[in-house]
Structure 1
Amino acid sequence: MAGTENGNSGGIAPERMAALREREAKAFRAARPKSERAFGEGLPGYLGGVPMHWMKDWPTPFPIMVDSAKGATIVDLDGNRLADFCLGDTGSMFGHSPPPVARAIRRQASRGLTYILPSEDAAVVGRLLAEKFGLPRWQIATTASDANRFALRAARAITGRRKVLVFNGCYHGAVDETFVRLDHGRPANKRGLAGEFRDLTQDTKIVEFNDIPALEAALGERDVACVITEPVLTNCCMVPPEAGFHEKLRRLTRDTGTLLLIDETHTISTAPGGFTRKHQLEPDMFVLGKPIAGGVPASVWGLSAETALRYDAYLATKEPGYSGIGTTLSANPLQFAAMRATLEAVMTEESYTHMETLAARLQGGLQQSIEKHALPWHVARVGARVEFICAPGPLRNGGEAEAAHAPALEAAIHVALVNRGVLIAPFHNMMLISPATTRRQVDRLAAAFADIAEALAA
């Protein structure tokens, strides 16, 4: 998930970046002796010294050892309090341990955690998903990666086609078919894939986001089962859709018999029904993971009425046997209890109004500092999701987003923000506003960013 190394310096001299990084690394270590002792050269018993290898991707000298998290605040082992704008890279987008979710977890814990049977909460969640997102038929998975895999399998079954289409720069979790990129204009496996022996481009077409002629040509061969896309490219330097892009995408997929899957795992920051509901998109399939259960691992994938009928027709003729869809712990009662609480009491219009208001305030504060110091940067936002990008914008596609990454500069900024009491996502410059985020925290982030921008531009 980390940005690709490239030569973009964001208009800042390399020696100035290095000096900031060195100075801030010393301050980080000085403030965290307990964390450094606890982490040591790595946590014992784990491959690479961490339970999950992304934990090594933080640009800090060593990972922050967390003692507790509540609302929009993280406290580390040394007692340092951080205003948390990373929020588990969207998994805790509605804050850490929202009270309705915490209560639901406690209640369900005494009733059993998994039993491969539905519960009363399951009956309620099915109705809530249809009401919230507009599609009538749903299935539950444990991660968005799983949900995307299962939805793509269903799309191939429905259409009888094997190929999928993705946009350059996309991110859809650990779905194999999506690990392709445009390398000097030619499709290729993404760099760095571990143990990948297949040429993924054999079954995946890839074009640039916002490139309608390329999309039309790729779909014109009528061999694509499904286009899978985020409404906004997010797990890179953010790329918004150009005016009319989604309307043309929907028309082209319908004209060529291709299903359209919208993955809202990051863009759920837009509104209670996601970017899809707010902008009246009409996907055949819909995926949402990460925050849907308030931090409990869960995801959902939904089908339109027509798509569900087509899938039912396929299933009526399918040979008996394992479909390759579903995992044993998916749709467990703990997930349903947490999802019900999230959908009913956390993911509300009032929460999003608060999030949107503070996100706009943060966007304005960051942009003001960029303009004050004449930095060649810009700020992008989709609802409660804000990102500063160390390059001019807006960006038009994934190729431009890749070139806009400035890893050395971003790393220095991230550590400097932590030393000023602010945590943002380590993989790119993403910041999230939660219902628990306060105006004071937003202003603290804006002030810290202004301080760092001044030091870099001096």
Structure 2
Amino acid sequence: MALSADGEATHGIAPQILAKIRVREEHRFRERRPRSQQLHAEAREHMPHGVPLHWMSQWGSPYPIFAERASGARLTDVDGHSYVDFCLGDSACMFGHAHPAFTAGIAQAAELGASYMLPTRDAIAVTRELSWRFRVPFWQLATSATEANRFALRIARMFTGREKILVFNGKYHGSVDETQVELRDGRMAPQHGIIANGVDFDRTTRVIEFNDLDALETALAARDVAAVLTEPHMTNIGMVPAAPGFHDGLRRLTREAGTVLILDETHTICMGPSGAIGELGLEPDMVVLGKVLAGGIPSAVYGMSAAIAQSLESITRGPGINHYGFGGTLAANALTVRAIRVALDEIMTEATYRHMTTIAEALHDVIAAQIKRFSLPWHVSRMGARVEYLYQPSVPRNGGEAARARSDEIELLSHLYFANRGLLLTPFHNMALVSPSTTLADVRAYDSVFSDMLGEFTQSPVPHTNQHQDHDSHI
């Protein structure tokens, strides 16, 4: 393997190799996407970074691909290029773009009126099904997982009379202010890029490493923590699975401390129709689920135990107009509720997940085989329909370890390399998501591109297959 000037390779890849490939790949990207480049120039006149959400500028390409349309696991851009989409709106369209059941249900709901500020029969069906799937009996709706997490934390504080919350290093629960922290040299600090001029984190928050029950016991000992907010397995920093016994300890310690346990299933819903809660047999006090439920329309739900629901009813029982610090005019609008009902009744089924898991297993296996083939010190993990690799040999135990197994340089170039060959990966990750429309042929296309890329990264000769040539021809 070629090394950098000082003899160091970054996670097994020499930096100067990455730099050389990036120059070529950026040229290729610009040459083949003139319409996206033109639109981006126009967009910069009125939008920071030339995008309506700054995340959209972080794909690793010289400028964003402007999308034209998408269906199933395929996306077409304004320059006419077609892509196999392993991003799927960063999970928002986990069940495929323009799923026929969603489009029919949403069209019907739009004809009847989109938002009433009144309940519908769909809301009864939705909350009944959510109660069965996620093991908490009472539910409310929001417009995003960020909102749902914010509302759940406020309710937990109202219920307990406490102020502090606890999160795990490397987490992401949306843009909730109190969660924007990390561990730096063993101490809590504002997360990278966060200016702490609006929140007194020392007053509101504690952060520890995931899977550390000793640290959790210490953090809860003062009995001043209203809620622990966590994913069942960590996903944002890279996949960090809960260690054996962690969830049993987490549940025991939160109960002993009188602390509400909130499980955020927004990404772990990829594991099955009842998410990780169903797969792992978990017993939360509150549940948050967002993003995936309505076919790409903003949506979220949050559930709670009977005791918390009873307290909530008591606290929010009028009189007069009062929002109590949570809610929203568009939360639980009739169109979104209909879309969620369609998802639960027709799409998020055992059969759907069996197909997604089968394809994801195949994707995991080809990635693992290529990592082994090129003797790279990396590993790949699968979580239901979600597959992701990190740049260390073993699965990380916590967020701090996972962060050290990341490389912006490799990840950003990988996304550009794949996009230039007709495959989209999720920004900020090496994550690939499998939808009901994803096929084994899509996995073979991924395998071919991944093999070529690793061959170039490691300067190892790789046979060029006809299958890859065919896939590459439309880009």
CA distance in 2, matches of 1:410, 1:254: 40
CA distance in 2, matches of 1:41, 1:141: 34
What SS does the aligned partner of 1:206 have?
strand
Number of the residue aligned with 1:80: 81
What SS does the aligned partner of 1:358 have?
helix
The letter of the residue matching 1:138 is W
User: Within 5 Å, which residues of 2 pair with 1:131-150?
Assistant: 131-150=132-151
User: Within 5 Å, which residues of 2 pair with 1:139-218?
Assistant: 139-194=140-195, 196-218=197-219
Distance 1:290 1:306, change over 3 A: same
| Cα displacement string for residues 56-75 of structure 1 (whole angstroms, at most 9, x for unaligned residues) | 11101110011111001110
Distance 1:194 1:118, change over 3 A: same
The letter of the residue matching 1:352 is Y
Number of the residue aligned with 1:289: 290
The letter of the residue matching 2:206 is K
The letter of the residue matching 2:276 is F
CA distance in 1, matches of 2:111, 2:62: 41
Distance 1:317 1:78, change over 3 A: closer
How far is the alpha carbon of 1:43 from its aligned partner? 4.0
How far is the alpha carbon of 1:237 from its aligned partner? 2.0
CA distance in 2, matches of 1:315, 1:199: 27
CA distance in 1, matches of 2:406, 2:427: 13
How far is the alpha carbon of 1:86 from its aligned partner? 0.5
CA distance in 2, matches of 1:310, 1:429: 42
TM-score by length of 1: 0.95
Number of the residue aligned with 2:448: 447
How far is the alpha carbon of 1:316 from its aligned partner? 5.8
How far is the alpha carbon of 1:203 from its aligned partner? 1.1
The letter of the residue matching 1:162 is E
Q: Which moved more, 1:26-35 or 1:168-177?
A: 26-35
How far is the alpha carbon of 1:198 from its aligned partner? 3.0
User: Within 5 Å, which residues of 2 pair with 1:273-312?
Assistant: 273-312=274-313
How far is the alpha carbon of 1:100 from its aligned partner? 0.6
CA distance in 2, matches of 1:195, 1:50: 25
How far is the alpha carbon of 1:188 from its aligned partner? 1.0
How far is the alpha carbon of 1:94 from its aligned partner? 0.7
Number of the residue aligned with 1:4: none
What SS does the aligned partner of 2:130 have?
helix
How far is the alpha carbon of 1:339 from its aligned partner? 0.5
Distance 1:315 1:67, change over 3 A: closer
CA distance in 2, matches of 1:81, 1:196: 44
User: Does the 8 A contact of 1:140 with 1:147 survive in 2?
Assistant: yes
How far is the alpha carbon of 1:31 from its aligned partner? 1.7
How far is the alpha carbon of 1:320 from its aligned partner? 7.9
What SS does the aligned partner of 1:225 have?
strand
How far is the alpha carbon of 1:79 from its aligned partner? 1.3
Number of the residue aligned with 2:244: 243
User: Within 5 Å, which residues of 2 pair with 1:13-32?
Assistant: 13-32=14-33
What SS does the aligned partner of 1:293 have?
coil
The letter of the residue matching 2:355 is H
The letter of the residue matching 1:26 is H
CA distance in 2, matches of 1:38, 1:424: 22
| Cα displacement string for residues 255-280 of structure 1 (whole angstroms, at most 9, x for unaligned residues) | 11111000000110000000011111
Number of the residue aligned with 1:335: 336
| Cα displacement string for residues 113-149 of structure 1 (whole angstroms, at most 9, x for unaligned residues) | 1110112222221222222222210000000000001
| Cα displacement string for residues 411-449 of structure 1 (whole angstroms, at most 9, x for unaligned residues) | 111111111211001111111001111111111112211
Number of the residue aligned with 2:226: 225
CA distance in 1, matches of 2:213, 2:254: 12
Q: Which moved more, 1:303-312 or 1:133-142?
A: 303-312
Number of the residue aligned with 1:379: 380
Number of the residue aligned with 1:60: 61
User: Does the 8 A contact of 1:94 with 1:434 survive in 2?
Assistant: yes
What SS does the aligned partner of 2:112 have?
coil
Distance 1:407 1:318, change over 3 A: farther
Number of the residue aligned with 2:46: 45
TM-score by length of 2: 0.92
Number of the residue aligned with 1:126: 127
User: Does the 8 A contact of 1:293 with 1:338 survive in 2?
Assistant: yes
The letter of the residue matching 2:176 is V
Identity of aligned residues (%): 46
Distance 1:157 1:13, change over 3 A: same
Number of the residue aligned with 2:457: 456
User: Within 5 Å, which residues of 2 pair with 1:314-353?
Assistant: 314-315=315-316, 321-353=322-354
* Contiguous gaps of at least 5 residues in structure 2: 1-7, 460-475
The letter of the residue matching 2:41 is G
The letter of the residue matching 2:260 is L
The letter of the residue matching 1:266 is H
CA distance in 2, matches of 1:201, 1:363: 41
Number of the residue aligned with 1:3: none
Distance 1:73 1:427, change over 3 A: same
How far is the alpha carbon of 1:313 from its aligned partner? 4.5
CA distance in 1, matches of 2:312, 2:35: 55
How far is the alpha carbon of 1:451 from its aligned partner? 1.2
User: Does the 8 A contact of 2:135 with 2:283 survive in 1?
Assistant: no
What SS does the aligned partner of 1:145 have?
helix
CA distance in 2, matches of 1:416, 1:100: 34
The letter of the residue matching 1:302 is G
User: Does the 8 A contact of 1:189 with 1:199 survive in 2?
Assistant: no
How far is the alpha carbon of 1:177 from its aligned partner? 1.0
How far is the alpha carbon of 1:24 from its aligned partner? 1.3
Number of the residue aligned with 2:391: 390
| Cα displacement string for residues 305-331 of structure 1 (whole angstroms, at most 9, x for unaligned residues) | 233234344446999843011011111
How far is the alpha carbon of 1:244 from its aligned partner? 0.8
The letter of the residue matching 1:45 is H
What SS does the aligned partner of 1:326 have?
coil
| Cα displacement string for residues 344-394 of structure 1 (whole angstroms, at most 9, x for unaligned residues) | 111111110011111111000001000001001110121111111122221
1 or 2 for the larger relative contact order (CA 8 Å, sep ≥6)? 1
